[in-house]
Amino acid sequence: MDDVIILEAERHRIQELEFEELQIEEEVGGRDATGAGSSDDFTFNPFLASLHTYLGEVEDTHHRLAFLDGGAVLNLPLFFLEGVVLFPEATLPLRVVQPNFISAVERALVQVESPYIVGVVRAYRDSDSDNRQLRFATVGTTAEI
């Protein structure tokens, strides 16, 4: 009997909500009902998203190299990231938690030949085989930490 009373009360409350009038904010003379300015005051810049400004200012990093010499052969720690392609001069925010990637970062920070540099290649699963073996791209890029 209690269940019937509860269900009836819920049904009654739902009916009340259906008939309740909603308040609509209207724009009056370039301002909405709250007095705030219109959204025309804000201009969306599509280039800001790729800058990763939430990371803070990174221009003050030390030992930055603009470019490596063409034909240079370097022995670099390697990041292989599944489903990720890093393009030259792009920013790639990383959370380094796997032990092999932690050691790659540590090695990059102390290497003399090319300090603060890691290699980055895309990893992907082989769709042709049954065990979906991990494969690596033949081309990658270098990244500065």
- pTM beyond 0.75: no
Q: Greater confidence, 74 or 4? A: 74
pLDDT digits (tens, 9 = 90+) for 27-73: 555 555 555 555 556 666 666 656 656 555 655 555 555 566 777 78
Q: Give dist(CA 31, CA 37) in Å, integer.
A: 5
Residue in 111, 37, 118, 26 with CA at minimum distance from that of residue 76: 118
Q: Give dist(CA 5, CA 1) in Å, integer.
A: 7
Listed by start position, the domains of the chain span: 62-144
Q: Give dist(CA 23, CA 7) in Å, integer.
A: 28
